[in-house]
Amino acid sequence: MRLKGSVRMSQEHDERRRMRRVPLALHGHYRVESGADYACETENVSATGILIRGSGEGDVGEWVIAYFGEIGRVEGVIVRSAENRFALEIAATPSVARKLASRLERLSQVELNETAPCP
């Protein structure tokens, strides 16, 4: 994935997050401003941001529309990027962000239950 204008992604960015991100691998695709569409997978997700791994290109500051079966359509701006991945700041109303947070909570609980060892 070629991401122009890359900004180093590090743990220091974790401290500035407004909402806790949950590790979820959601498959989907995203579209950049040029209209190109790419397959992707999330690494972690919150109601305000997503770390996406994909094979396409995009610039920091570029508007992206992403689609994931489990959470639907999300839109936002690339705020950080590194090789093969980028952080998307989600643009959503407070109401939409609350709904997304609820969906993510349910998805993370399902994933925890599926990965928990059987007694």
H helix count then E strand count, the chain? 1, 8
Question: Which two three-digit tokens encode residue 98?
Answer: 């609350």
**DSSP code of residue 2:** -
Q: What is the pTM of this model?
A: 0.76
Q: What domains, with CATH codes, occur in the chain?
A: 3-115 (2.40.10.220)
User: How far apart, in whole angstroms, are the C-alpha atoms of residue 82 and residue 105?
Assistant: 27
Start-to-end Cα distance in the chain: 42
Predicted confidence (pLDDT) per residue in 86-100, tens digit:
999 999 999 998 999
Give the model's pLDDT for residue 68. 95
